[in-house]
Structure 1
């Protein structure tokens, strides 16, 4: 059963149950009212009978009967009896013992009596007169009230069925209207697949449950999209970067096996294979580092950090642990104001990558790191005394697996500056490269200041 049908059914059951309870209360209240009213009418008839038959001594019985029938409305199945102290019916046209002795004695004992006997209602009173003590009992069938109750019951059943149908129809309409945003949400979700994971669900300013579901789904899709991009990037990079060394390795092996060669030739082939294998190892390590870094970027959380503190820690690690001359100039920034919104670990990785490259290409010579700030930005400059960077390579060095290490006779995987740029851009910063006047290069990092 669909949700809208369940909502309509539950709403209808609750509403009709309440309606049924109200109708039942009205019916039984009206029934009790009619019953009490008829008891009052019977009581009045017993009092009139007592006055006519017992106190009007000078009037004959036939004359009293004539007056009684003339001014009192005849009730359906009406029976009236007056009993004397010996429980004998008297002052009536017959002496039929209509009520039992126990009933008559009960009226005499209690003074009055009211009860229902099947369809009939009975009233009894104890009346003292100068002629003696008498018990007057009267009963009748309130057919008029029964007819009214029957009609009322039919009307209530009709109203109950009609309102139940109307409530069911309206509740289905309301449920469908309420769940229309959820239906639209479902249709939007169906449109999302691996080819368009950038699509997001529409949200509103309402803070209802459906809007919260859409926001949570969009957040989940964002993480899935990043993971999917990470997977595609890893596969693409792996297939692209590993294809060349694997092909060269296979060609070298096939060429060596094409004919018998001297031991020296086989040795050269093995050395070439080993070189290609080492290169593949560097590429695999770089791919793993890239995947790990992308994952960290996805999960990273930013918070205010002090650049002065980060740079002091970086200087300590390079000078003490690695014994390399990293100079730090913090004169252009105050300790209280040099704060940016970043992740401490990722920022440390980015700075270490730049400083590591600076020492690598300057053969361990001095590297200077300085901080400057203005009203909107904080600037970090890292200057080395190395071989410099050609203008044609200033954009290429930030690409994955691009390496200048071979030109300088150094080993590298081409991942450091690529990850550095991704980290800096994650924190809404920029990175630029400029040449020094004499030798070396300067990396300039700009971050928005808090």
Structure 2
């Protein structure tokens, strides 16, 4: 069952239940009240009838008669009984004579008043003492309110329920249909979106309601998916190129070597070229594996308490061995007095790899010009600032610097695969840190890294 039909059905069912309960309640309480009211009216007539028939109040007897005749409505099949009784009265015979229920007579004698109903005929009576005699005064009548008015009310309520249900069905179907029209339009639009036209977007209504919020959320999702598709396409294109280059060189060298017999020196030269390309291929593969591993949550990565300044010194020592011409300068003026403010929770090898990539890039793209490194901390974070005087990154390339294998347009004179920066960013994110890079072509690059302080057990 469609949601639209469910909503319409639920509204009709719920509204009908409420209306039916309300109508039944009205009928029930009015029906109960009608019995009580009718008995009171009969009892009033019995009291008035006794006063003027038995001359209980001689001065006002005639007045009571006129009040009854002029102001009290004549009830349907109304009858009045004034019976003189005593302890020797045979109530069975009295009942048969006047066609009055014997149980009513006995109850009036016992309680002083009584009520009784047989079908649609109602009885109400009282017992009176007058001039040393006992009298029972009974008035009976048909309850026209029950037989006529309540039946009329019941018919009105039933027709009202039927009419309301019909109107509710129509309005429920109408409003549920129009309520779901924007959603249907969204569904139709979404069905048109595929990988070939992922640039399409849903129309966002101007009114700020749940539908516009849904459309906005879906458009945001499409933006992220489109970005992911573009990144994937660039990755596949660049990775294919980077992997194909050494493979092509290896195959070419092997084909040339096998064309004819060659001297041992030539074979050695070919093998050296093959080894060089194989090492390049191995480096690309290892970088891709690191990139893939750090792209996940890192559940299998062992974390420990690490001093970030020690990692920086170890990275500088490594770069000094590999690139003696580097001019990395460590600024210790911002170091905190408390060494605990330099400790982070992380994996030392991964942090070493991330910082080595960033510092290597700073040296490489600045032709070994001075690179400044500042270490500082706050109450919540350890911060690292790296500033070089290199070629910088063109503004048009900045949105793509974290795409694997992407290289800025001004780096064609430098060797590299375009994996170092994405890998460093993944490692820093894995440690709940942030990396902010700012750069301008010809003006160098600045990198700001921050890690949350380690929670030490006291």
> Which TM bucket (shorter chain)?
0.5 to 0.7
Note closer, same or farther for the CA distance 1:317–1:446 as it changes in structure 2 (3 Å cut): closer
Contact 2:122 2:141 in 1 (8 A): yes
Structure 1 residues 267-278: aligned runs within 5 Å: 267-278=268-279
Partner of residue 438, structure 2: 429
Q: Per-residue deviation at 1:108? A: 1.3
Contact 1:282 1:413 in 2 (8 A): no
Partner of residue 328, structure 2: 326
Task: State the number of aligned residues.
Answer: 380
**Which digits, 9 at most, give the CA deviation of each residue in 1:210-234, with x for residues without a partner?**
4554454444444433433332222
Partner of residue 165, structure 1: 166
Note closer, same or farther for the CA distance 1:368–1:27 as it changes in structure 2 (3 Å cut): closer
What 5-or-longer segments of structure 2 have no aligned partner?
Answer: 59-64, 297-307, 322-326, 337-350, 375-384, 399-405, 429-434, 449-458
Contact 2:108 2:114 in 1 (8 A): yes
Partner of residue 113, structure 1: 114
Structure 1 residues 286-301: aligned runs within 5 Å: none
Partners in 2 of 1:68 and 1:432 — Cα distance? 112
Partner of residue 15, structure 2: 15
Partner of residue 174, structure 1: 175
Partner of residue 230, structure 1: 231
Note closer, same or farther for the CA distance 1:263–1:353 as it changes in structure 2 (3 Å cut): closer
**Which digits, 9 at most, give the CA deviation of each residue in 1:18-54, with x for residues without a partner?**
2222222322333334333432332233234434543
For the aligned residues, what is the CA RMSD? 5.0
**Which digits, 9 at most, give the CA deviation of each residue in 1:77-99, with x for residues without a partner?**
4444333224458xx9x971523
Structure 1 residues 380-399: aligned runs within 5 Å: 382-383=388-389, 398-399=408-409
Partner of residue 367, structure 1: 370
What 5-or-longer segments of structure 1 have no aligned partner?
Answer: 59-65, 297-309, 336-344, 372-378, 406-411, 435-442
Partners in 2 of 1:318 and 1:57 — Cα distance? 123
Contact 1:124 1:135 in 2 (8 A): yes
Partners in 1 of 2:55 and 2:233 — Cα distance? 114
Note closer, same or farther for the CA distance 1:202–1:329 as it changes in structure 2 (3 Å cut): farther
Partner of residue 62, structure 1: none
Contact 1:398 1:418 in 2 (8 A): no
Partners in 2 of 1:200 and 1:225 — Cα distance? 11
Contact 1:286 1:414 in 2 (8 A): no
Partners in 2 of 1:253 and 1:27 — Cα distance? 101
Partners in 1 of 2:255 and 2:282 — Cα distance? 21
Partners in 2 of 1:57 and 1:381 — Cα distance? 120
**Which digits, 9 at most, give the CA deviation of each residue in 1:246-282, with x for residues without a partner?**
3343344445555666666655544443333233223
Partner of residue 183, structure 1: 184
Partners in 2 of 1:70 and 1:420 — Cα distance? 108
What is the DSSP-based 3-state SS (H/G/I as helix, E as strand, rest coil) of the residue aligned with 1:433?
Answer: coil
Q: TM-score, normalised by structure 2?
A: 0.64
Note closer, same or farther for the CA distance 1:315–1:205 as it changes in structure 2 (3 Å cut): farther
Note closer, same or farther for the CA distance 1:11–1:37 as it changes in structure 2 (3 Å cut): same
**Which digits, 9 at most, give the CA deviation of each residue in 1:93-148, with x for residues without a partner?**
x9715234443121112111123322221111112222610222332222354112
Q: TM-score, normalised by structure 1?
A: 0.65
**Which digits, 9 at most, give the CA deviation of each residue in 1:262-309, with x for residues without a partner?**
66665554444333323322343455567779x59xxxxxxxxxxxxx
1:82 maps to 2:75 = no
What is the DSSP-based 3-state SS (H/G/I as helix, E as strand, rest coil) of the residue aligned with 2:82?
Answer: strand
What is the DSSP-based 3-state SS (H/G/I as helix, E as strand, rest coil) of the residue aligned with 2:196?
Answer: coil
Contact 1:120 1:142 in 2 (8 A): yes
Partner of residue 362, structure 2: 355
